[in-house]
Structure 1
Amino acid sequence: MTTDSERYQARKAQFDGMLTIYGRKPVLEALQNDALAIHKLHIADSNKPAAIIEQIRSLAEQRQIEVQYLSRDALARISKNKKQDQGVAADLILERYTTLDKLLSQGTLAKANMLRLLAIDGVNNPQNLGMIIRSAAAGNIDYLIIPRQGCAQIESLVIKASAGTVFKCPIVRCERIEEAINAAKQHDITVSILDANGDYSAFEAPEKPRLLILGNETSGLSTASKNAADETLFIPMQNGVESLNVAVTAALLAYLPQLSKRP
């Protein structure tokens, strides 16, 4: 017999793996992708007649997706972005999208041998976040940790910049970067940051479980990340270049240790 607790846990697990997207074009493109499981479609009842809205409704009907009509304010509470949701949102069920709490409860961090985590700390440019997601999905990253506070949210610009890989990337959400740091410390995972005067080159870093943290495009890492670092790495640069775009840096880190083993 299923208990209330079991029902609650099953429902919570479903929502932990759910990503809400908004905006007419992103929602339409998601509906057009049969590989994406869509839990529910939300449409504001105040939307004026438009061809794209009819397309969205028609595709939802064809795919037998539940459609919820609600007030503009109620939709904004779901999308969390009233200015840009265009009166439409959709809940996607993603197998590789989860929360840090769920990861911890499953013992994933304790079980893994050579876990490679990449976290962002204050990266608020949507295009950079999208490109970081793309690199993490393509490269040697087990989980990409995206805190809700201080970072760009996953919306249309991010989805576009990721070239759709946001639906494939193993993304972990938490509220603050400190939560990811604490989880790493509790599981003997080395916290690594980048600095021009780092301890050693990222290409020569010994292989071990590692949480790599990348900071804001302009202001860099938060004090919390700097203080928590177990080691600092640097990327060798030529011709007087002092730094790289955060998305470019993420791409390089995503392919460690393969780059370290280059002939």
Structure 2
Amino acid sequence: MNENETRLEGRNAVQEALKAGTPIDKIYVLDGCMDGAIRTIIRDAKKTDAILQFVTKQRLDQLSQTGHHQGVIAMAAAYEYVQIKDILEKAKDAGEAPFIILLDGIEDPHNLGAIIRTANQAGAHGVVIPKRRAVGLTATVARTSAGALAYTPVAKVTNMAQTIKQLKEQGMWFVCADMDGTTMYDLNLTGAIGLVIGNEGEGVSKLVKEQCDMVAAIPMKGQIDSLNASVATGVLAYEIVRQRLSAK
């Protein structure tokens, strides 16, 4: 499966995908085009979580693989998204305290795929990603996850900070990764916990960080002061695994 297989081009293809309930991350529409078919697509898209982006013909031509986009291209997700409640239900069914990995703006599909793979191996019950300014479940993500995406549910939310606040009200604690935080070995990472990983370049956003209960730093002994987002996720996730095992 390659990246192009999640790209739907042309009015009929996009309309049928929306009618069928195909999970779509983003729809590019020719700016200023408002004929009947395009209006229908826009109307139906607004009933979903898809992001509508109005672009120039030049941009559509750049995105097009067929040369026949007819003013609209949709990026369909490789897998369906779930709801937060589904992730919590998975933890409940397993008789375990929830362990969720929340990603605040991961943009590299290879990073997202690797994180989903780590989440699966570390026993996380699910992954949460934001609706905007982040990569969705593309074919590259699915491929990089090495099959883990079939077993690890992913939820997509509009507001990450608000989602964390709501989960805290249900008894969860949240720890975010930041090099200015407390060394991860000195934190209690047991119980119902959410691990928050920030954007590759900017880290965890201020609003999201303010909602977290703890800030964890990974000990650094080298000459550079940061790790790749997926590597940082792995290090912190397995410290959570270690503490959860020790607490039994």
Where do 5+ consecutive residues of structure 2 fail to align? 29-62
The 3-state SS of whatever aligns with 2:179 is coil
Alignment match of 2:4 (pick from 2, 10, 23) = 23
Shift of 1:216: 0.4
Q: Output the TM-score relative to the length of structure 1.
A: 0.62
The 3-state SS of whatever aligns with 2:208 is helix
* Match status 1:74 vs 2:57: no
2:4 aligned partner, one-letter code: G
Alignment match of 1:190 (pick from 173, 176, 197) = 173
> Relative to structure 1, is the Cα distance of residues 152 and 187 closer, same or farther in structure 2, using a 3 angstrom cutoff?
same
1:74 aligned partner, one-letter code: Q
Alignment match of 2:133 (pick from 150, 164, 168) = 150
Tell me how large the CA RMSD over aligned residues is: 3.6
The 2-side partners of 1:255 and 1:245 are apart by 16
The 3-state SS of whatever aligns with 1:244 is coil
Shift of 1:210: 1.3
Q: How many residues align?
A: 198
8 Å contact from structure 1 (residues 23, 84) kept in 2: no
8 Å contact from structure 2 (residues 98, 192) kept in 1: yes
Q: Output the TM-score relative to the length of structure 2.
A: 0.65
* Match status 1:228 vs 2:217: no
The 3-state SS of whatever aligns with 2:82 is strand
> Any idea what the Cα deviations from partners look like across 1:31-80, whole Å, max 9, x if unmatched?
xxxxxxxxxxxx86x7xxxxxxxxxxxxxxxxxxxxxxx61452686643
Where do 5+ consecutive residues of structure 1 fail to align? 1-20, 28-42, 47-69
Structure 1 equivalent of residue 111 of structure 2: 128
8 Å contact from structure 2 (residues 164, 211) kept in 1: yes
The 2-side partners of 1:192 and 1:247 are apart by 16
2:210 aligned partner, one-letter code: N
Shift of 1:205: 3.2
Shift of 1:170: 2.3
> Any idea what the Cα deviations from partners look like across 1:102-156, whole Å, max 9, x if unmatched?
449x877899752211100011111111111111112121221122122101112
Structure 2 equivalent of residue 247 of structure 1: 230
Percent identical residues: 22
The 2-side partners of 1:89 and 1:123 are apart by 17
Structural mapping, 1:26-175, within 5 Å: 71-74=12-15, 79=24, 80-81=26-27, 83=63, 97-100=81-84, 102-103=85-86, 114-175=97-158
> Any idea what the Cα deviations from partners look like across 1:4-41, whole Å, max 9, x if unmatched?
xxxxxxxxxxxxxxxxx9833x69xxxxxxxxxxxxxx
> Relative to structure 1, is the Cα distance of residues 117 and 203 closer, same or farther in structure 2, using a 3 angstrom cutoff?
farther
Structural mapping, 1:4-19, within 5 Å: none
8 Å contact from structure 1 (residues 120, 214) kept in 2: yes
The 3-state SS of whatever aligns with 2:239 is coil
Mean CA deviation greater in 181-190 or 107-116: 107-116
> Relative to structure 1, is the Cα distance of residues 126 and 224 closer, same or farther in structure 2, using a 3 angstrom cutoff?
same
* Match status 1:209 vs 2:177: no
Shift of 1:240: 2.9
1:128 aligned partner, one-letter code: N
